[in-house]
C-alpha cells in the first residue's frame, strides 16, 4: 500500500511536469497544438484536455465533488480554448496538491466506489490503488504529449522524478 508521502510527492511531480508541458506547448501555434500527430487522443491539445478531464473524474470520486461532463471520447474537446485549458490545469494541480496534503493512511486503506462509464458498471477498488492509477494515468498520457512536443520542436523538461526541483 502507498502512503500520503507518495501521493504528496506525485502531486508535486504532476504539477511540475504540467508546467513543463504547458510551457513548451504555449510556444507552439494553436494549429500546431491541435495537429493530429497520430497519438491516441490525436493532438497535444486533445491529449492535455483528456488528462485534465481524467483528473477531474478521479478527484470527483476522491472528494465527492461534481465530476466533469462527457465521456472518454468527448474529453479531447471538453476544453476547446487554450487559455481556459491552461487556467483549469493550474487550478486542478492546486486541487490535487491540496488533496494529497490532506491524505490520511486511513483513507488510503479504505475503498472507493463509483460507476465506471468505461466499464458500464459499478466498481469498488482500494483507495491506494486508484490513487496510484490517478498518477499513472497522468504520467502515461504526459509521456505521449512529451513525445509530440519533441516532434514539434518543443523543449519540455526532463521527466525523471529524481531531477524534480525540491
Domains of the chain by start residue, with CATH: 4-161 (1.20.120.450)
Say if residues 111 and 125 touch (Cβ distance below 8 Å): yes
A 10 A CB-CB count for 71 gives: 10
> Which has the minimum average pLDDT: 30-34, 49-53, 67-71?
67-71
Distance separating alpha carbons of residues 29 and 117, to the nearest angstrom: 34
Q: What is the DSSP string of 123-157?
A: EEEEHHHHHHHHHHHHHHHHHHHHHHHHHTT--PP
Q: What is the pLDDT of residues 98-144, one digit of tens each?
A: 999 999 999 999 999 999 988 999 999 999 999 999 999 999 999 99
Task: Tell the residue number behind the cell numbers 504520467, with chain if given.
Answer: 139
For residue 140, the tally of other CB atoms under 10 A from its CB is 13
- The Cα–Cα gap between 105 and 108 comes to 5
Is residue 1's pLDDT more than 80?
no
pTM (2 d.p.) = 0.95
Tell me, what's the pLDDT at 58?
97
Residue 166: what pLDDT?
83
Phi/psi at 25 (nearest 5 deg)? -70, -30
Amino acid at each position: 500500500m502507498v502512503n500520503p508521502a507518495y501521493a504528496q510527492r506525485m502531486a508535486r511531480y504532476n504539477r511540475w511536469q504540467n508546467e513543463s508541458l504547458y510551457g513548451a506547448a504555449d510556444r507552439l501555434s494553436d494549429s500546431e497544438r491541435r495537429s493530429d500527430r497520430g497519438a491516441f487522443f490525436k493532438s497535444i491539445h486533445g491529449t492535455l484536455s483528456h488528462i485534465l478531464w481524467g483528473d477531474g473524474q478521479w478527484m470527483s470520486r476522491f472528494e465527492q465533488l461534481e465530476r466533469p461532463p462527457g465521456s472518454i471520447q468527448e474529453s479531447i474537446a471538453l476544453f476547446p480554448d487554450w487559455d481556459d485549458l491552461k487556467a483549469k490545469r493550474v487550478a486542478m494541480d492546486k486541487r490535487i496538491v491540496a488533496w494529497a496534503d490532506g491524505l490520511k493512511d486511513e483513507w488510503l486503506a479504505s475503498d472507493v466506489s463509483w460507476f465506471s462509464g468505461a466499464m458500464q458498471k459499478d466498481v469498488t477498488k482500494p483507495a491506494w490503488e486508484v490513487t496510484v492509477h490517478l498518477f499513472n494515468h497522468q504520467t502515461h498520457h504526459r509521456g505521449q504529449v512529451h513525445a509530440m512536443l519533441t516532434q514539434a520542436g518543443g523543449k519540455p523538461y526532463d521527466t525523471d522524478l529524481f531531477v524534480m526541483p525540491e
